[in-house]
Structure 1
């Protein structure tokens, strides 16, 4: 089988690796310059920064087994942060004791490890998937054509997937009905470490939902004291079209009010908008499939919205495809 996989985030890579290990021929496509999706790391003058997924947990036994395998390969490490929560009463230690994992030395190390030597075409935004008499072809935004392929797996956020699934109206309608929440993310870098015990903090209300000190994570060797800030979904929706400078300034102000120590002017700031950061609610589809057509869809939006959900969804899409051969 010749299989096209659109999207090289954790779901697409999960499916690709499972299919390749089963002896199938896969070809990945992604509009970004590299793999990772929301697990990608952003380059900056302070080094590599995790502006998307901050960590992940492993609750499903299959995913937990995979995580321990990745740990043995050196792709991931356990993160043991001093966790806090912030509410109207101020900062207090968090009671959340879940085991947390991160890619090391950056979050994208995991997806790069999964990618390995798999064939991939980056900087290629697929805009249309259509089927001829026997095979699938893909069209990209520059007018290029790719194919033929026997099967296609769509591993993009639901709003983008709905367009690519147009040959299977039932699947397209399901994807179109998924509401994805946006998130503005900001990185701040300081010359001197902030005088705070906080490594990570859940924020209960206001502009922010989370902030974390990057150097508290294993493998992050940075000259500056860098922090990642995530805006809440509600704030991000209201301020979707603000400039990056405006977002950085407003979220820096919110951070300064919460952190509980003096916050000097930042050496640098960086803002990024994740338009489809997470599904608004969990679902139980695992993956979508039209086995007669040979068209499949997977992603965190098919399950929990977490990294674990994305990986499990990719596994399920691959399983259904292989069962149908």
Structure 2
């Protein structure tokens, strides 16, 4: 009886690897420190309906990912989002010429990872702090001091700074993960009782604390009871104000939004702030996934490739492929 494979992290990368291994007949066990799947694809349920606070949309360029997204669409997990898109620079709004096809989870971003997870075995609210190898097998230790195992292989699918600590048994992999700089992002949601009188549904912003704003109700399948907006601060602003109180962050970004949007903005009836410490890698890498096949330790994530949702999915596929090749 073979020991199962452990996968730490249930964002797109971890679930992509899990699906590929499961399809190949491997036993897997998933772990996540959060209460649900999704990582930065997670959506937050709130008084103003469900809000995508992390990834706002994604694109598909690689042929393999395009095919998968088409399957997701056929199953009703994703829908195309066609926002009225703008650019903002020097306080001026102009329509964006961007013609890319954008996809969103339906009815919320986290619908994708929830569907990918399906009935796979997972332990939520379980933060793995250590990955160590015995004579033949791997064991995991969690923050409560509990031990999990034995496992034949381990795939670490967390943001790079967290991954480097879990990869200590393979110093080369740990060093590669430690070299990746991940940028933070403050995300704020604002909800208004009355619809704002603007045509903007998505906007790329320059010369402002903000770098992105999106109108939630413009996404397919969203609850339209409130006019809710999600604002993302830029990396530089987020880094400078990492430890600011949530109320102050909301105040700053609400002010920047009011200046930008070109219409009257009343006080919001609903606000929420979330700090993504590791929102995106500062630069792209071409690793695909990290592997020490002899040890049976692997790492994957958007930080191994492009920093995009597509990169995370491809990286998970790559980790699974390398693991399965080594088993043959």
Quickly name the TM-score band, shorter chain normalised.
over 0.9
Residues 1:188 and 1:89: Cα distance change in structure 2 (over 3 Å): closer
Residue 161 of structure 1: SS of its match in structure 2? Answer: helix
**2:246 matched residue in structure 1:** 244
C-alpha deviations, 1:281-319, integer Å up to 9, x for none? Answer: 000000000000000000000000000000000000000
Q: Which runs of 4+ in 1 moved over 4 A?
A: none
The aligned counterpart of 2:208 is 206
- 1:113-152 maps to which residues of 2 (within 5 A)? 113-152=115-154
Asked if 1:257 corresponds to 2:247, the answer is no
- Residues 294-313 of structure 1: matches in 2 within 5 Å? 294-313=296-315
Residues 89 and 223 from structure 1, CA distance in 2 versus in 1: closer, same or farther, beyond 3 angstroms?
closer
**TM alignment of 1:1-325, pairs within 5 A:** 1=2, 2-88=4-90, 90-325=92-327
> Displacement, 1:43?
1.3
Moved more, 82-91 or 235-244: 82-91
Any gaps of 5 or more consecutive residues in structure 1?
none
Gaps of 5+ in 2: none
1:89 Cα deviation from its structure 2 partner: 5.1
Q: How far 1:222 sits from its partner (Å)? A: 2.8
Q: Tell me the distance in 2 between the aligned counterparts of 1:321 and 1:82.
A: 43
Note the alpha carbon deviations across 1:135-157, whole angstroms, 9 max, x for none. Answer: 00000001111000000000000
d(CA) in 2 for partners of 1:97, 1:50: 22
Quote the Cα distance in structure 2 between the aligned partners of 1:248 and 1:98: 30
Q: Residues 234-290 of structure 1: CA distance to partner in whole angstroms, max 9, x if unpaired?
A: 000000000111101100000000000000010010000000000000000000000
SS in 2 for 1:255: helix
SS at match of 2:247: helix
Q: How far apart in 1 are the matches of 2:207 and 2:6?
A: 42
Equivalent pairs, count: 325
SS class of match (2:174): helix
Change (3 A) 1:43 1:89: closer
Between the aligned partners of 1:85 and 1:27, the Cα distance in structure 2 is 44
Secondary structure of residue in 2 paired with 1:24: coil
Q: Does the CA-based 8 Å contact 2:41-2:110 persist in structure 1?
A: yes
> Residue 202 of structure 1: CA displacement?
0.1
Separation in 2 of the partners of 1:249 and 1:123? 31
C-alpha separation between the residues in 1 aligned to 2:227 and 2:151? Answer: 47
CA distance in structure 1 between the partners assigned to 2:219 and 2:225 by the alignment: 14
TM-score by length of 2: 0.98
Q: Distance in 1 between matches of 2:223 and 2:271?
A: 18
Provide the secondary structure at the position in 1 that maps to 2:112. helix
Deviation at 1:322, TM superposition (A): 0.3
